[in-house]
């Protein structure tokens, strides 16, 4: 990382996997630009993180956002693959785990994303690196829950096992990405002041790991659970027939869901991202007041 990449206050980190592998073209690039614009409207600085031809970038230019959203050879990297992308001089989109680590290394404290990875419900072992990274690295991470395609109970249990401090923003039930709520209980916080207090308390005890904030999708973009289940089952059927595994699993399921829902899941995904970026900016504001 270059010296100029060191940033501290009023910065919100954004990930790039959602651009390169999570959303369909051309909505992916439009969304990435829009998220940065939302951050700027709050008088904060957006830093979309990725690896450009082997170079870690804390903050992409508009041209680079365009390129990462259109190139066909963009890797999807968690923390473990950062060195591979760098050494082999590849273009790479960073997942939650890689984004959290690189953001932390450059002094950023707040990161907004859509959904975190977690425990997949496939019969083969498939647990996202995101969970381990959240247990290791100090960051306030705003998300709309684990993706609804995951085993949600196991994901929450795993977060607990890994000592990740997780809270629900104005909800005591785990939100699950497209759905505002599930039957899984979580600790509720009422305000950004509480979120920042929890983060500062964690720091004072020298506890590593992130404060993970679950922010439910805005009501009008929520997808009905029964309807979602229908699309999800169809997507899982397609998965059975395909040979898709590992890293390609999430992008595959997301694109099948987009297909069966006629774009509804994509619209919801974009809106929950904006909603999370908004909350992240409020947290940055509060953090600068309380630090």
Q: Does residue 268 bind ligand PSU (CB under 6 A)?
A: no
- Shortest Å, Cβ 6 to Mn ion: 31
Pick 21 or 47: Cβ nearer ligand PSU: 21
Q: Does residue 22 bind ligand PSU (CB under 6 A)?
A: yes
- Beta partners for residue 119, in sequence order: 127
Pick 46 or 115: Cβ nearer ligand PSU: 115
222 belongs to the catalytic site: no
15 belongs to the catalytic site: yes
Structure token pair of residue 262 = 């006629």
28 to 24, 68, 85, 233, 266: CA distances (angstroms):
6, 10, 22, 25, 10
DSSP readout, 122-185?
A: SSS--B-HHHHHHHHS--EEEES-B-TTB-HHHHHHHHHHTT-EEEEET-SB--BTTBS--S-B
Do 247 and 178 contact (CB within 8 A), yes or no?
no
Give dist(CA 46, CA 58) in Å, integer: 9
User: Number of residues in contact with Mn ion, rule: CB under 5 A?
Assistant: 1
Q: Does residue 222 bind ligand PSU (CB under 6 A)?
A: no
Q: Kindly tell me which residue out of 15, 67, 126, 130 binds Mn ion, with binding defined by CB under 5 A.
A: 126
The single-letter DSSP state of residue 190 is: -
Pick 17 or 286: Cβ nearer Mn ion: 17
In the chain, what is the straight-line distance between the N-terminal and C-terminal CA atoms, in Å? 26
Pick 17 or 165: Cβ nearer ligand PSU: 17
Give dist(CA 113, CA 119) in Å, integer: 18
User: Number of residues in contact with ligand PSU, rule: CB under 6 A?
Assistant: 19
- Shortest Å, Cβ 129 to ligand PSU: 6
Q: Kindly tell me which residue out of 15, 36, 67, 81 binds ligand PSU, with binding defined by CB under 6 A.
A: 15
| Segment 115 to 154, residues that bind ligand PSU, using CB under 6 A | 115, 117, 128-130, 147
**Residues annotated as part of the active site:** 15, 147
């Amino acid at each position: 990382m270059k010296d100029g990449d060191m940033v501290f206050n009023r910065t919100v980190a954004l990930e790039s996997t959602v651009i390169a592998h999570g959303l369909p073209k051309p909505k992916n690039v439009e969304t990435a630009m829009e998220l940065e614009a939302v951050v700027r409207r709050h008088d904060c600085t957006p830093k979309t993180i990725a690896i450009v031809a082997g170079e870690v970038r804390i903050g992409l230019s508009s041209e680079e956002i365009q390129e990462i959203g259109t190139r066909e050879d963009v890797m999807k990297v968690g923390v473990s693959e950062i060195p591979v992308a760098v050494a082999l001089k590849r273009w790479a989109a960073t997942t939650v785990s890689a984004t959290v680590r690189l953001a932390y290394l450059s002094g950023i404290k707040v990161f907004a994303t859509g959904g975190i990875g977690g425990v997949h419900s496939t019969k083969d072992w498939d647990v996202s690196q995101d969970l381990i990274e959240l247990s290791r690295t100090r960051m306030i991470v705003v998300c709309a829950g684990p993706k609804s395609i995951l085993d949600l109970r196991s994901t929450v249990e795993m977060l607990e096992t890994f000592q990740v401090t997780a809270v629900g923003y104005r909800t005591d039930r785990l939100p699950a990405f497209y759905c505002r709520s599930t039957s899984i209980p979580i600790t509720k916080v009422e305000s950004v002041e509480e979120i920042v207090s929890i983060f500062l308390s964690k720091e004072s005890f020298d506890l590593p790991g992130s404060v993970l904030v679950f922010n439910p999708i805005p009501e009008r973009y929520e997808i009905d659970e029964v309807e979602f289940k229908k699309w999800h089952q169809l997507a899982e059927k397609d998965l059975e027939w395909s040979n898709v595994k590992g890293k390609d699993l999430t992008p595959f399921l997301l694109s099948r869901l987009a297909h069966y829902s006629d774009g509804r899941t994509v619209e919801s995904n974009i809106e929950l991202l904006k909603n999370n970026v908004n909350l992240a900016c409020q947290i940055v504001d509060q953090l600068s007041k309380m630090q």
